[in-house]
Structure 1
Amino acid sequence: LLRGEDGRNDNIWLRECLTRLTGVQLSGEWRGDPWGAVLLAEWKITQGGSMVRALIPPAGVHALRSPQNFAKIEARAAHSLTGHGRQLYVLLADKKRLGRPFWTFTVDELRSLMGVADKKSYEVWGQFRRWVLDPALTAVNDYGTVEVSMTPEKQGRSVHAVTFRWRWKDPHDAAETASENA
């Protein structure tokens, strides 16, 4: 079925994909201890090529259950989160690709990126934080794949920028948070 009606009648592509998955190594830290594993420990094509049996170690199962290991995490988060939480997650996921554990936005830039630059009520920092940033931060942290903190940066007595710091969770931690949320 995966090959399609006009597809090849052998499993060359499937074998290549399984071989690549066998070479994928996972690592991380769980509750302060390092761990490592392969994603796919063993595979067999049986029943004349119509059945694949795959042995996935427990750490691989946790990784597969954790959406942080897939390129489509932003799409999943976009559907799982709503409103300002979704927008903040998109901003942070974009900065994650740059490989930095933090990012600083000016307040005006942040208002614009969060889609509230035209709302007069959010021109006051306290209102912007209370009704936009704090709920968005709570939603992203509850999502399960990342821990985010926010630090307002003052210039004199007024807040002029906000620094977000994040730590993308290990697959074990993310799976644990997801099960707690469920």
Structure 2
Amino acid sequence: MTLHDIPLTTMDGRPTTLGEHAGRVLLVVNVASRCGLTPQYAGLERLQEEYGERGLTVVGVPCNQFGGQEPGTNEEIAQFCSATYGVSFPMMDKVDVNGEDRHPLFDELTQVRDGDGKAGDVGWNFEKWVVDGDGAPVARFRSRTEPTDPQVVGAIEAALAGIGVTR
């Protein structure tokens, strides 16, 4: 089983899996609309625009577990993301990323070690995981690392090279 096999629901209520994006590199991010890090949406959209045609799909997964910073309905979240940041990448249903009700996707993602060698619970909104075209997570970046940070971009480009995409 890979991340591609885990059932998800899109923000508009459609059942899906990340397998819908098989063969593409994913940047999975737990997002929130009322967080001090919310401006990272701009960088996420920039990555989607710059690398989308080369095989990257950013996937936003809202979560309200950190300071109640994603209190809205899916419709309100979608409206905010579209109107404020022009988000064009897929957004999933709001889920728990930690604790007893943690979504199975995050059961897997929290096992991935970050650059300091630490795995475990999601620390805050806007943690990021690069997932290769086969559905295997290959990198994890903590919340304060900007989406356009050279380390994130480098991990995306390495994963794109792994699916045979070069500049």
Larger relative contact order, structure 1 or 2 (CA cutoff 8 Å, min sep 6): 2
Structure with max Cα Rg: 1
Instruction: Name the one with the larger helix percent.
Output: 1
State if a TM-score over 0.5 links the two structures.
no
Q: Normalised by the size of structure 1, how large is the TM-score?
A: 0.24
